[in-house]
Every structure is written in structure tokens, then in C-alpha cells.
Amino acid sequence: MKQTICDKISKLRELMRREGLGAFIFPSTDPHNSEYVAEYWKGREWITGFNGSAGTAVVTMNAAALWTDSRYFIAATEQLQGTEFVLMKERIAGTPTIPQWIGEQLASVNSNQSTEVGIDGSVVTEAAVEQLIADLRKEGGLTLRTNLDPLQTIWTDRHPLPTAAIEIQPMQYAGKSAGDKIAEIRAALRKEHADGMLVAALDDIAWTLNLRGSDVHCTPVFVSYLLIDSEKVTLFVDRRKLPPAVLDYLRDEGVSVADYDKVGQGLKDYFEYNILISPDEVNHTLYNKVEREIVRRPSPIPYLKTIKNEAEIEGFRRSMIRDGVAMVKFLRWLKPAVEVGGQTEMSVAEHLAALRAEQPLFRGISFDTIAGYEEHGAIVHYEATETTDAPLKAEGLLLLDSGAHYQDGTTDITRTIALGSVTEEQKHVYTLVLKGHIQLAMLCFPDGASGTQLDALARKDMWAEGMNFLHGTGHGVGSYLCVHEGPQQIRMEYRPAKFHAGMTVTNEPGIYLEGRFGVRIENLMIAMPYKTTAFGDFLQFETLTLCPIDTAPIDVEMLTEDEIQWLDNYHNMVFHRLSPHIDGDDLAWLREATKPLERKNV
């Protein structure tokens, strides 16, 4: 690995020297600004060896660095060891920005060093390029080149573009036809005085057309573009991916088909007066092929997509029952299996995946399972490998973050489980996290509040003790779509997106003590109407996830009576919704796991 990364950097620098570049930037995105990308576009992972979903790598003729966020600090430190890449911790005081670092590096070498920086404009948004150009200009007049993809030359065994077949998402799960969705999109475009739009986000395309794919690991989307104007809709996609039934379906929905690589020509042929292009979504290369007046506005589709209709809401509720059954079977099996011995982080993750696969409508896991035992639990996005796979003992804490796609809903759940005796510190931290989870779950709030306004409820008790976590507290979840869906989020950093009834969001506070252990407790919730008063409409959260929360590590004296009552009510709901679907030892385990919490000092 070490020599391989070194060789890759050497080949890159040879190309940079020929092209007259002083630095080259590798983002983690694809031409669709996706969070998770097809293998073909994993260039940042290929050049660095770091496999986290977020990060940006930069290589100059004399140095190399990787920027990533707090979820990956520990993992990146390990994976970059022995390579030339230096870890840059985003949002940590003293960490330079990418343009600052490039400016410093290029200024530190001889005056013959090129001041031109390269980036592949097809895998970075127009807005990002515009900001990068401005920032580089401030660093000694650096310039940006966007028409070069060095990976086409130096990545000799690059994966091909995916060609898996596309499938139709039935109306019974989608709840609204593609034609009705397109009509809603056109109505939203008229409000923006736009005649049409280019849709680049893969999940937006899948949602609009009621289609699903398998081009991206753990994400049921397909590589494509969608061009909507006032009269027609064109899907730009590899035609090999379209079975006859899908072609017939698209024809019936009034959607024509063109080759994926013809989207640029499609923009040139676009006949309307103007077109809505979101500079935060559409890549720089395509943006600059538009010859009509551009309406620079956010796409209306994310808000339409994130407010779930009745069929989607009921689908979530049904899928949570199946997922809960799999989780109960797993949790009932876990501790006895660990006591017998031979279980590891990877083996328990595989067992849980197998139990989920037994459930009707299962379509795959929604992300790679995080099974972190003790100190590995402190690595926020830890993924066990053959070399790190820790054996489990009948003591301490196992943090298990997992999820599944069912055709009627997507799940995302974290449980931190006491495998045996735990320390008083672990109990204290576990209970702090539980308190934050419950406080957010109990919240009632005005319609239109932003997630940043809600975030403090999950943190106030840990803040009182000088503790915190740096990842978001909650993200939206798609309806058999991306496990991370926006625009709504709950996090410390300001996010203006407003909450409305029908929006899903996770509730996942955590505390991580590096080298020791981590705790996270996560349920999926949906915002629902609460009441209407003279002050307006108010919302409350309905918890969708159905799985017991481990009570063994709880310090009951730290909980308020309201918090205890919430937990008892939640467990009562879990038992009554899951018990009709299980029996025998699983039912006995569930009854014990959901019994009311024993009060102390009462």
C-alpha cells in the first residue's frame, strides 16, 4: 500500500510537470455532486488510500495533504500512515484552508514553480469552482484549470461506468406518479420564472421518475441526468441499463431517452428562453455548456422529495417493523454468542445483515455497518477490516450503527450495547447521550424552525459537563433512497432549511472518548402536526424506529421523571408493535428488554 500510493503520486507529478501545474485537487464527489459515488469516480480514495466518504486531497510537486471532517479523524490518521499525505482536520483551529495551504506550498519553493492549480471541472460544482477561483486569487494570484482529468491517464485499472439494470418503484410504495411529480416540479419552476431545469442529483432523478438502480454501493440510484422543459422530459442514461419494461414505462410517462454522454448536446439544443441551474448541484463543466439565460436558484426537488406522502410514511412504518424484528433476533442472539466466544466486529455485522436479508422486501443494507467495540466505538465512522477486526468480550460497550433498504422504506439505527460489565464512566456517558436523545425526541416546535434551532436540546446536558460531539445530530432519510437526505438537518452549524410535517430526520447524539470507547443512540423520526394556536402551527416528532434501547448501562438517577416516562412509553410501543411478529425465545427476550425502567430512590 505504501509503495503503491508513492507510485501513484509519482505518476501524477510527472503528468503535472508536463501540464505545467503546481498543484492538483481531488474532491470526493462525482459529476452529480453525490455523497457516495460509483467506483469509477473514487479518485480521491485511489490516490490517497483513505476510504472515508468525505474528504479532499491535494498534491503539489513537493507535498500532499488530505482534508476531512471529525467523523474520519481517527480512521484517516491510520489509513494515511506511511504515505506522503498529511491529515488536515477540517473546522479545527489552526487548520489552513485548501487555497491557503496551496499558496503556502507554492510560495515555499523556487520561483519557477507553476502557480496554476488543476481540478477536474466535471466532478465539482459550479459554485465550488467559483469560490475556489476567488480564494486562489487571494493566495498570490493563483489560477485554476478545470479541463483536465489526470485519472484518465494514470489510473490504468480504473473501474468502468456501471451498467446495472434500472427498476420501477411501484406506485403502492411511491404514492405519487412520475407525471404528477413532474407537474409539481414545473409548477415550482414557474414560481421561479424558469422555463425548465437540469436535474443532476441522482436521488432527485430516481424520486422524480419512480425508478431505482444499483450503480452506487448501498444507494439505490442510477447514473443519469434529467432535462425538464415546458413540453418534454429527457433522461440521459446508458441505454443498456433500460429493460424493455422500463422503456415502456418511460414512454407512457412522456419521458424520452438519450445517451448519458449527450447531456451537453442536450443543453445546447435546449430551446426555452431560460433554464434553472443550481450552481450548488450542477458541475462546472456542464454549467458552462448552457447557452440560454441561467436562473441561478436551488432545485425545487429536494423539498418536494423530503416531505413524505402517506404511502411513503406508511412504508416507513411497515419497514420499521421488519427491521425491528431483525434487530430483536440479533440482540437476543448477541450476548450469549459473545459469551461462548469467537465473535468479532465483522462477524456480528455479517450476522445482522443475514437476519435483515430474511425479511420481506429487503433490498440491501443502506450503508456499511459500523460495529465498533470499546476503543473502536470512539471512531465515528469506523469500519472493521481484516486487520482491525476486534474480538468481542463479555464486557464493555459495542457501538452498532446499521441500516437497511426495504422497497417501502430505508432504516438507520444505532444501538450501544453493554456486552457485560461496564465502568461507571461508561454508564455516565451512556446516560448523558440517552438524555440528549430523549430531550430531542420529546421536543415540540414551530413549523418552519431550522434544525440548528433544535440542536441544542440534544447537547445541553453534555455541554453542562464540558462534553460535545462534532458530527450532526440528525439527517433526513429517503424512502428507499439515500440514507442521507436533505435539505433538513439537525446540527450545530447553521443550516437554514426549515422543518415541515412529513420530513424524516435521525436523532443520533453521541460522545466519543478517543482510545477508550464511544456511545451513540439513534432512532429515525418524522415531523408530524402537533397543534395550531394563535402563534401558528406546531410540530412534534414521531419516533419510527422500533428496537429496545439497552437499559443495562443506564444510570437511572441521572434521568428526570419525564425522561424515564418517555423511555417506558417508547419501550411499550416497541413491544406492542413488534410482539405480533415474533415468538418463542425472541418474544421472551423482547418482553424483558422493554419492561419499565426500575426507579431508584423512590
Rounded to the nearest integer, the mean pLDDT of the chain is 96
The CA radius of gyration of the chain, in Å to the nearest whole number, is: 25
For every residue of 328-351, which 3-state class applies, written as one string?
HHHHHHHHHHHHHCCCEHHHHHHH
Model confidence band, residue 472 (pLDDT cutoffs 50, 70, 90) = very high
Between 470 and 436, where is the model more confident? 436
Query: pTM value?
Result: 0.94
Q: Which three cell numbers stand for residue 347?
A: 462477524
CA distances to 19, 251, 478 from 179, rounded to whole Å, are: 48, 11, 20
**Secondary structure class of 600 (helix, strand, coil):** coil
pLDDT digits (tens, 9 = 90+) for 4-14: 999 999 999 99
How many angstroms separate the first and last alpha carbons of the chain?
60
Task: Determine the average pLDDT of the residues in 553-565.
Answer: 97
Residue 602 predicted with pLDDT over 90: no
Residue 109: the pLDDT is 67
pLDDT band at 2 (very low <50, low <70, confident <90, very high): low
Summarize the confidence of residues 74-79 as an average pLDDT: 87
Q: How far is CA 550 from CA 191, 410, 506, 545, in A?
A: 49, 23, 18, 14
What DSSP string describes 152-203? HHH-TTPPPPP-PPPEE--HHHH-S-HHHHHHHHHHHHHHTT-S-EEE--HH
* Sequence-distant (≥ 6) Cβ neighbours of residue 236 within 8 angstroms: 224, 225, 226, 227, 258, 259, 260, 261, 262, 263, 266
Peptide bond into 243 cis (omega under 30): no
Name the pLDDT band for 601 (thresholds 50, 70, 90): low
Render pLDDT for 34-57 as a digit per residue (tens, 0 to 9): 999 999 999 999 999 999 889 999
Q: What is the pLDDT of residue 111?
A: 55
Minimum mean pLDDT range among 107-121, 256-270, 485-499: 107-121
Residue 397 near residue 307 (C-beta atoms within 8 A): no
Lowest pLDDT segment from 74-83, 156-165, 341-350, 453-462? 74-83
Take residue 186 and report the three cell numbers written for it: 414545473
Contact 366, 357 (CB under 8 A): no
| Per-residue pLDDT tens digits for 122-170 | 999 999 999 999 999 999 899 999 999 999 999 999 999 999 999 999 9
- Of all residues in the chain, the percent with pLDDT exceeding 70 is 98
Average pLDDT over residues 329-343: 98
- Any idea which of 72-86, 138-152, 166-180 has the lowest mean pLDDT? 72-86
